[in-house]
Structure 1
């Protein structure tokens, strides 16, 4: 959905060469070119709030994709609060805070996003918000707060029927219980994650979320012992 909005804006401002090119490179996932033309756009069209907000977003997202989280954060923070997709900006800032292990900051960004209108969730995965909130509380050892978010993430991902994402959701809730020595609750979810991983043949491809691996290893050992 957001990509289609970017395309619309690119077409609307096609006469602004730098903005148009930055948008097209953004859609093509050519991050270096996006950064260059978005900067050129800001140097020339900084008085147009619509263009400058999008240009900062393009740069913020490009830096994020390149793993330059500090630079990404700076760009996202330059976007005005009246940007029509401010809720997406907050999600990106929450993701960056999580990457930087700034869990309380991530929660502050992400918590309001768990209560958006359905039409806003068309622009990003609702389940990822619940997952990230759960992971933040998990890292803070606030297990009682983590649990409902992680369970809701599972519910949403079961509806989405995305197997890889569901593996992560099962793994996260299994980790939550495992950290509390509740193996009787952890193992069933761990088994589900393991069976889906075997189905996709990804156990050795490092595609499952890091939190899942201690439990996956435990199940693999158990399975080999039978």
Structure 2
């Protein structure tokens, strides 16, 4: 992990230099871009392991850059910005940010969060198996989830956070998960809003329903959410 390549997209050279210096001290390789267009070009050419992305950028703003990165794949992204409103955080998370740091910040905090995100995205062992709940199959290594139907598998188009929540719950089918546990296990550090979990779960339920498995993810009054096969899905569907 210490040799990971970090792409910093930040239009203030002093801030980019500070973040880059602290990252380099920890053994990371660093490259910087001063605007979104150059940043996306670096991302396409260099395939960084993590992107540190400002929102207020000339030309394309950080939200547009993040959306473009997400269309290309699952490169982890930490947003670094002066915008501290919950709506700004929620928008970044909905688009697919992995974490969110508000200026002014301690550079050591940015490094610590980068390490945490990289541990989550790079540190998966080789022993993880496909998780199956009724017609749902979740592959943690391939970052793929699909619902088996009579017409064949339907792949779910999930954000990174939606996938984390689904995989976390699929590992213990039938168990009721509290919102606070889902926050700690699946959401970026420092983003501890219960309504954020509700928003992600609502999107998950909508996507599962559209794929034909709407009964799998249910609410548990006074607790949180549960993923199980209680509605009597045929277990054979999940195995083709």
TM-score with structure 1 length normalisation? 0.30
Higher relative contact order (CA 8 A, sep 6+): 2
Query: Which structure dedicates a bigger proportion of its chain to strand?
Result: 2
Structure with greater helix percent? 1
